């Protein structure tokens, strides 16, 4: 196990497991709250989902070489749902 993971830091460049991705999200959220300096946050759920969803869709679509059926299978979602999300994020 790397020193980054042991220390509880996001293992940038070393992400190999679900736990690594989770750790990166946790670190980003902790930094977000530190950066607020006491201001009240809002719409955190939507912010996090959109922040994760768009790059995930971009990468999976690239890995499937633009094949939406294959990308939907990789994501475990219906192709129509994928198409809706790609349209929502203006990726098609």
pLDDT band at 21 (very low <50, low <70, confident <90, very high): confident
Domain with CATH 1.10.10.60 in the chain: 42-92
CATH fold of 42-92 reads Arc Repressor Mutant, subunit A (1.10.10)
Q: Collapse the DSSP code of 29 into the 3-class scheme (helix H, G, I; strand E, B; otherwise coil) and give the result.
A: helix
Q: pLDDT, tens digit, for every residue of 31-86? A: 999 999 889 998 999 999 989 999 999 999 999 999 999 999 999 999 999 999 99
- Considering only residues 14 and 91, tell me which one the structure prediction assigns the higher pLDDT: 91
Handedness of CA 64, 19, 25, 47 (dihedral sign): positive
pLDDT at 37: 87
Question: C-alpha angle with apex 15: 71 to 5, nearest 5 degrees?
Answer: 150
Whether the model clears a pTM of 0.85, i.e. scores above it, the answer is: no
Structure tokens of 34? 């530190």
């Amino acid at each position: 196990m790397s020193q980054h993971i042991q220390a509880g830091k996001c293992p940038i460049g070393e992400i190999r497991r679900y736990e690594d991705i989770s750790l990166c999200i946790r670190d980003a959220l902790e930094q977000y709250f530190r950066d607020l300096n006491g201001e009240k946050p809002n719409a955190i759920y939507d912010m996090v989902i959109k922040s994760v969803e768009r790059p995930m869709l971009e990468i999976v679509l690239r890995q499937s070489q633009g094949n939406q059926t294959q990308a939907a299978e990789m994501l475990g979602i219906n192709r129509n749902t994928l198409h809706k999300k790609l349209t929502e994020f203006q990726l098609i």
